Structure 1
Amino acid sequence: MKKLFAVALALVLSVGIFAGCNASGTSSSAPVSTSAPAASSSASPSDDPTQMTAEITWWAFPTFGQENADDPAGTYEQKIIEAFNEKYPNIKVNLETIDFTSGPDAITAAIEGNAAPDVLFDAPGRIIEYGKNGKLVSLDDLFTDEFVKDVNNDALVNACKGNGTAYMYPISSAPFYMVINQKQWEEAGALEFVNQEGDRTWTTEDFEKALKALHEAGVNPGTLFCQGQGGDQGTRAFISNLYGAEIANADMTEYTMNSEAGVKGLETAQKWIQDGLLGNGVAYNGGSDIELFKTGSTSFTLCWGTSTQLVNQATLDENAITTLSLPFPSDDGVPALEYLVNGFCVFDNGDDTKAAAAKEFIKFVCDDETWGPKNVVRTGAFPVRASFGDLYAGNEEYKLLSGWTKYYAPYYNTMDGFANMRTEWWNMLQAVTNGDDVTAAVNAYVENSNAGMA
């Protein structure tokens, strides 16, 4: 049964992953360092946080959109650091930018090598896993009564916790969804099957009609990407929505995609791939699928969000691509959307002063009266704090997306074994794409995912 959240944020509450849907599609083999203001390298606690002396390292995925299209990754983040140092002159922040393709492995390697950063900007899926594994500092003290009241959303607050402990401090949130190339769909005669009124909800039947129209016109569809975990929340939402499958049970104790509805959704996707209506995505993850879309090589992507739009807008403009945001099609026309939560965690590197300095830094980024709202806007998402108000006044697209809170599905990303489930998911999709028996593949996925919860 699809669950609808009754309480919305001020506008809307990532995805997505990934959280993968924030990816720009770029990759690198290692974090990229950016210079930071000088400060003493010694660390000494102080009753006055502004006089604290410490040196910390911040790893950042490309979630903050740069202010100018030609600005390299990390340019805006460096401005945040400079503003922070006006208030905290003795805390040196070393910025290292990572990407969504190689970044997750780089974090894992750093943790295993006892070289984790002090601060990471990411999403709950990975952060809560790190916390449950004892790698993070508790952030319970940041979740004051005032903050929780301002957020006014128990589901989002709980998404930042693992086993009752807060490990992530959130700044913004937004839904994950799909997006189409409006011109390509219109020229192919596929746009007529898209509901452009109200919330733009549509059915699986109409989506299939659109796929056939694209195919007959010789227009490439999007792919069911499954090369790796990047952006995998988009494919899970897509498959589960087709016929109303539940990814997990109501109390989040087991994965349940081997239901009749789940099997039907996977069998339908398999047939679409075999018929050429849906792209074979074995060679692509979410980031590379986005690359195909933003260059006009495919006509839709299942991996999108507000941050993705912001990060890739310049390229879309260069390629004369006008996007149309759509919720995932569903059998009953009522989608169940996953959503992104952007936020920070602090790694436990055995230094209380560095941890305290890291907390002061993330509070500044998220809560500063001047920089907090600005930073939310640069994520392309919506504030978790209701007190920040409407940061996108006059933006009709964001007004539409803010109404999609009522379609938010249960948040399963903080379940035990979530990281293992993600690996099992794309392995299963590869098997389905290659023509293997769907029931056997999804049963193995569920069995292995549930075994990984132990």
Structure 2
Amino acid sequence: MKKTARGAKVVAVASLAALTISACGGGGGDDDENINLRFTWWGGDTRHAYTQEIIDAFEEEHPNITISPEFDSWEGYWDSLATQSAARDTPDIMQMDLSYIREYIENGLLYELDQVNTDAFTDELLATGSSEGTLYGMPIGSTSLTMMTNESVFEDAGVEMPDDDTWTWDDVTQVAAEVSENSEAYGLARPFNDAGVGIWLRQHNGTNMVTEDGEVAWEPEDVVPYFEMLGEALDSGALPSGAQVNEDRAAALEQTMIATEGAAMDVWWDTQIKVLSSNEGVELTPLKLPSESGNAQDAQLYYKASMFYSVYEGTEHPEEAQMFIDYLVNNEDAGRLQLLERGIPGNAEIREAIRGDLDEDETDLLEYNEGLEEVVAEAPPLPPEGFGAVQEIIWRYEEEFLFGRVSAEEAAQRMHDEIAGALE
């Protein structure tokens, strides 16, 4: 008997509203000898190209199964998937993100993954795609929040690279101000964004962004010092203006300040380093985020699932859909095509198999990520429904504060209230 998300409920949020019983299913074929599976993902041209190669290889091994690709940019992907899900026309297999997976689980849209081989994955990583002990999202890989740094910008400014085992938040703003004062680049490209605020809260207040129950875990006064820190960085010239921050966030990764040597430091997920350093002559080094105590053991860093593969609960071919996911995460040839583009492979055997295929930058990234095992803490709770709006809310109030339109106290209060409203 088919197993689906326990406690499935009628979709209540706007993004998944108006589910219709009469709408069509997930697109599987009626003839078991000729099965068609729709597979959707977000990403850029590089991801699209190698994913098609993986699909071709899988179809060659399984000539009775056809994988129909559907892909989009990050910006359009979630609107499209929500629309399809509201019509019960969800693709059989979908790429899923941590910010949305709980929403899809709780709305009964994901099928239990009970036939994918998980032996080479850690329990901690598998837990990020699980609810009440049931796996609904197969982790593809892992990533960790990092401070991207451009050593050549530091050298041009005559500023010594920081020691990421001992630096503090005060060190970050001080070093950034020195870079800005002694070069044409900014020390920091922009504020620390939603994930950075989450790390800051874990260090300063011992709380995550949300509780296990999906509620806001902090009070407005908890983040007032964060905004005050941004104000000091703005006043010292370490940070650019609100308008420049807004422009940088709207730019393609390759055109951001950190990618064009317009800034010495910026916070990103570590696996984004390859794209960010793709411009000629740009070399970036990942550093651990600072801590309040000056001890990296207290930095509250964690491994985040880079993304997941999930199966639509209404698929007509759950076994074959899981067979394809198993191929994506456990097949060595698929791993060699993907390398680190979807994250550091969660499959330990695949990591070892591809190690010799990596270039110098990719090898450095892999070793950096693996080296974090000595300092990483437990990952935050699974984000609740509505969490997809949190990033935009935090970005907006960071920028509103930098524009001088709100005080630190006003930014903290309004940001808290909007996030609470989104999660309700």
Name the TM-score, length of structure 1 as normaliser. Answer: 0.73
CA RMSD of aligned residues (A): 3.2
- Give the equivalent residue in structure 1 for 2:153: 184
Q: Offset of 1:312 from its aligned partner?
A: 4.6
Contact 1:119 1:358 in 2 (8 A): yes
Q: Does 1:247 align with 2:208?
A: yes
Q: Does 1:402 align with 2:402?
A: no
- Give the equivalent residue in structure 2 for 1:415: 383
Identify the range of structure 1 (411-420 vs 240-249) with the bigger mean alpha-carbon deviation: 240-249
Q: Does 1:437 align with 2:407?
A: yes
Contact 1:243 1:330 in 2 (8 A): no
C-alpha distance in structure 2 between counterparts of 1:79 and 1:365, whole Å: 11
Identify the range of structure 1 (210-219 vs 425-434) with the bigger mean alpha-carbon deviation: 425-434
- Give the equivalent residue in structure 2 for 1:142: 115
Q: Does 1:377 align with 2:339?
A: yes
Which of 311, 318, 325 aligns to 1:362? It is 325
Contact 1:125 1:413 in 2 (8 A): no
C-alpha distance in structure 2 between counterparts of 1:287 and 1:158, whole Å: 34
C-alpha distance in structure 1 between counterparts of 2:94 and 2:235, whole Å: 41
C-alpha distance in structure 1 between counterparts of 2:248 and 2:81, whole Å: 22
- Give the equivalent residue in structure 1 for 2:311: 346
C-alpha distance in structure 1 between counterparts of 2:94 and 2:53, whole Å: 17
Q: Does 1:54 align with 2:27?
A: no
Amino acid at match of 2:208: I
Residue by residue over 1:331-355, the C-alpha shift from the partner in whole angstroms, topping out at 9 and shown as x without a partner, is 212222243313201223x3422x4
SS in structure 2 opposite 1:330? coil
Change (3 A) 1:72 1:330: closer
SS in structure 2 opposite 1:135? coil
Counterparts in 2 of 1:95-244, with a 5 A limit?
A: 95-139=69-113, 141-142=114-115, 147=118, 149-153=119-123, 155-190=124-159, 192-195=160-163, 200-217=165-182, 218-224=184-190, 232-237=193-198, 239-240=200-201, 243=204
Which of 249, 255, 276 aligns to 1:285? It is 249
Amino acid at match of 2:60: E
C-alpha distance in structure 2 between counterparts of 1:357 and 1:287, whole Å: 39
Which of 314, 321, 336 aligns to 2:300? It is 336
- Give the equivalent residue in structure 1 for 2:7: none
Contact 1:241 1:329 in 2 (8 A): no
Q: Does 1:271 align with 2:258?
A: no
C-alpha distance in structure 2 between counterparts of 1:389 and 1:42, whole Å: 35
Contact 1:138 1:165 in 2 (8 A): yes
Contact 1:56 1:91 in 2 (8 A): yes
Aligned residue pairs, count: 381
Change (3 A) 1:41 1:159: closer
Residue by residue over 1:308-351, the C-alpha shift from the partner in whole angstroms, topping out at 9 and shown as x without a partner, is 223455x33x2x01111111122212222243313201223x34
- Give the equivalent residue in structure 2 for 1:446: 416
Counterparts in 2 of 1:64-83, with a 5 A limit?
A: 73-83=47-57
Change (3 A) 1:150 1:73: closer
Amino acid at match of 1:224: R
Q: Offset of 1:259 from its aligned partner?
A: 6.4
In structure 2, list runs of 5 or more residues that go unmatched. 1-26
C-alpha distance in structure 2 between counterparts of 1:374 and 1:44, whole Å: 33
Name the TM-score, length of structure 2 as normaliser. Answer: 0.78
SS in structure 2 opposite 1:142? coil
Q: Offset of 1:168 from its aligned partner?
A: 0.6
Contact 2:146 2:289 in 1 (8 A): yes
Amino acid at match of 1:203: T
- Give the equivalent residue in structure 1 for 2:273: 309
